Amino acid sequence: MSASGRVPAGTVPPHVTRLLLRAGQAAGLDRNRLAKVAGLASLDDEAVRLPSASLVRIWEEWAARLRDLGGGSLPWRLWRPGSLGVWDYLFTSADTLTEAFEHADRHAAVVTDPSESFTPVHDAAGLTVTFHGRFASHPIFPIIAEFAVSMILTAAASGAGRPLTPLRVTLTGPAPRRHGHLAETYGTRNIAFGAETPSVTFSAADTNRPLPRADPVLAAILRDHARTRVATSRAVLSWLDRFRGEVELSLTHGAPDLTHIAHRLGMSPRTVQRRLHEKGTTWRTELECARRRRVEQLLATSLTVESIATRTGYTDPRSLRRALHRWYGQGPAELRRPRTSP
């Protein structure tokens, strides 16, 4: 489990967001499409935490193009030591990779959402590091999984001072027709697709081998710095941002429940409704907007209308079809039909 301290769930430090933005810009992607993404004006402040939903929105806007250019591993071509702040140096100062990932997981909140983790499991065969992501049910999670695997491999190679050949890699998405670029990037052809979680397995020889720059004193200082960094960070996150993030997260598990979301925010349902009224909105309006965004995402996948209705909290496909006609004046078949240029 990662050590999240009092950092609110639904927030991330700026490091990964900056790396993703740099990769997108280097690939010629249009940053103007991100104009409404919350928190990007604070990216240069090392002490802030941005809405996790903002990072997901960037993936939503750029995922298709990034996949064409090399997938979720693309941003790691721009990585340099220190790109992820103190988290990077937890690897270079540790005694072994096993120790490095144990501490990196405990302090994962310095680099990602505090509800996420890089869980290391050590056995006779070696070390398997599994990424548990907040948005695992989101349609774009497969490319985030590719990113997370590259993150694990990059951190391990940085600590070892050399490229490492993993025994096995697992990814959550379906196997693409061609994935030679992933085999080349990950250094192995032993890649399993369709897994529940992304993971990397390193050999026992690699995980138990002393790291070349091990420094126990420095490692202790860095871990203390990681704790301080988390404790002193501040969220660039309004109450309404947090509420909307919780609604979006709940939608990945079915129909959101006001009582559950209120509990996640540390409030009563009546207080949540009152604060929404103060913001000029309502529970019903917010739920409708969140469902609409989620339905738009799922319509771009191969899921059936029945599955989409279930995943967005509608009682049956007819309710979803009525909502689509209300929003767009069209049904799912028309909306999914490829648009042709005039």
Residue 102: C-alpha distances to residues 121, 127, 128, 136 (Å): 9, 11, 11, 22
- pLDDT of 237 reads 66
Distance from C-alpha of 312 to C-alpha of 177, rounded to nearest angstrom: 29
CA atoms within 13 A on the CB side of 41: 5
Per-residue pLDDT of the chain (342 residues; tens, 9 = 90+): 344 446 777 899 999 999 999 998 888 888 888 877 878 888 888 889 998 888 988 998 888 888 777 788 889 999 999 999 999 999 999 999 999 999 999 999 999 999 899 999 998 889 999 999 988 888 889 999 999 999 999 999 999 999 999 999 999 988 888 788 889 999 999 999 999 999 999 999 999 999 999 999 999 999 999 999 999 998 876 788 778 878 877 787 777 889 988 887 888 999 999 999 998 999 999 999 888 888 887 887 778 898 888 888 888 889 999 999 999 998 888 888 765 433
- pLDDT of 283 reads 94
Amino acid at 200: V
Query: Nearest to residue 287, comparing CAs of 238, 323, 335?
Result: 323
Distance from C-alpha of 132 to C-alpha of 150, rounded to nearest angstrom: 14
Element (H, E) at 121: strand 117-123
- pLDDT of 39 reads 80
Query: Nearest to residue 233, comparing CAs of 63, 112, 60?
Result: 112
Sole residue written with tokens 């529940």: 196
| Residues across the chain | 342
What residues does each domain of the chain span?
11-234, 239-336
Fold exhibited by the domain 239-336: Arc Repressor Mutant, subunit A (1.10.10)
